[in-house]
Amino acid sequence: MSLFPTGADWRRAAKDLVEGLAAWHIWTLLAFNDIRQRYKRSRFGQFWITLSTGIFIAGIGSVYSFLFGQPVETYIPYLAVNIVIWGMLAGIVTDSTAAFTQAGSILGQQALPKTIFVMRVIVRQLIILAHNLVIIALVFLLFGIVPTAAAVMAVPGLLLLAVASLPAGMTIGLLCTRFRDLPQIIQSLLQVAFFLTPVMWHVDQLGGRVPYVIDFNPFAIFLLLVADPLHGHWPGIGRYVQALAIIGTMVLVTAPLFARFRARIVYWL
């Protein structure tokens, strides 16, 4: 058993990717069903997503604006944007750990592209993001914040984030199917990453020290790429270069891994 993918492996992986992306109606349907199913019997339904994020921001926002000695009217909008985007980043990582195991019964009896189940996770998180955007709008309205023209750059930022999510989700999903301790490990690391990423604090608070906490932290790079425009800053070109470098690295890691072990996923379920 070789560790390297054969030509046939590469062809089948490419086919999986192409057919998986083309089956958009399956992954959007699955993603919407996931959301509907989760909140089916509750009174507020899927607006619990919005509500619970709102409660979290209000609570943490009041406490930390006091701790950091920052005025509530600037800190809460800052936090609201960051928390919402962090939620998407963390959600993609968390949900990817179960991307394939969750679909075990389906994968076990039907030949479906594995890509479908990673796309399902990404769309599911985009739906959650859409619900949380309401909070950003409400908070901005409440504190009278007018987004600047820079806000349009959040769109390409989000697009890059979605692109990065595909190889990331594939690798995480694949490894977590094989190694069942990994979801727990990832969950713990994610908590650490939360504090290492400028979600609750400002990059300025580092005062130029330990720049690698930002520059080598994929979470920070993608967070800033989407959040900075909403805070009214134009992201520097360097940020985009960093994001593209991360995507490139992930593709280089994921492509051979997926090609070699894609067919094994079913056997690991």
Q: How far is the CB of 251 from other proteins (least distance, A)?
A: 23
Question: Cβ atoms within 10 A of the Cβ of 115, count?
Answer: 24
Q: Counting contacts by CB under 8 A, is residue 25 touching other proteins?
A: yes
Residues in the chain: 269
Q: Counting contacts by CB under 8 A, is residue 43 touching other proteins?
A: no
Residue type, 55: I
Instruction: Among 133, 163, 213, 266, indicate the residue that binds other proteins (CB under 8 A).
Output: 266
DSSP per position, 25-72: HHHHHHHHHHHHHHTTTSSSTTHHHHHHHHHHHHHHHHHHHHHTT--H
Site residue total, other proteins (CB under 8 A): 28
Instruction: Among 58, 112, 138, 196, indicate the residue that binds other proteins (CB under 8 A).
Output: 112
Instruction: Among 2, 7, 109, 208, indicate the residue that binds other proteins (CB under 8 A).
Output: 109
Distances (CA, A) of 70 to 117, 172, 181, 208: 43, 38, 40, 20
Compare residues 12 and 131 and give the one whose CB is closer to other proteins.
12
Instruction: Among 178, 206, 236, 248, indicate the residue that binds other proteins (CB under 8 A).
Output: 178
Is residue 198 classed as helix, strand or coil in its secondary structure?
Answer: coil
Q: Counting contacts by CB under 8 A, is residue 93 touching other proteins?
A: no
Q: Counting contacts by CB under 8 A, is residue 268 touching other proteins?
A: yes
Alpha helices in the chain (DSSP H): 7-22, 24-38, 47-67, 72-96, 104-107, 115-142, 154-178, 182-196, 212-215, 218-231, 237-261, 265-268
Instruction: Among 2, 43, 69, 111, indicate the residue that binds other proteins (CB under 8 A).
Output: 111
Q: What H or E segment, with its residue span, contains residue 208?
A: none
Q: Counting contacts by CB under 8 A, is residue 202 touching other proteins?
A: no
Q: Counting contacts by CB under 8 A, is residue 151 touching other proteins?
A: no
Which structure tokens are listed for 30? 């699955």
Binding span for other proteins by CB under 8 A among 66-74, 80-88, 110-118, 216-224: 110-118
Q: Counting contacts by CB under 8 A, is residue 267 touching other proteins?
A: yes
Compare residues 105 and 191 and give the one whose CB is closer to other proteins.
105
Phi-psi region of 235 (alpha: psi -120 to 50; beta: other; left: phi over 0): beta
| Beta carbons within 8 Å of 204's beta carbon, 6+ residues apart | none
Which structure tokens are listed for 184? 């727990």
Binding span for other proteins by CB under 8 A among 72-80, 85-93, 107-115, 128-136: 107-115
Q: What backbone phi and psi angles, to 5 degrees, belong to 257?
A: -65, -45
Q: Counting contacts by CB under 8 A, is residue 108 touching other proteins?
A: yes
Binding span for other proteins by CB under 8 A among 54-62, 78-86, 109-117, 201-209: 109-117
Q: Counting contacts by CB under 8 A, is residue 110 touching other proteins?
A: yes
Give residues in contact with other proteins (CB under 8 A). 12, 25-26, 29-30, 33, 36-37, 40-41, 105-112, 178-182, 185, 263, 266-268
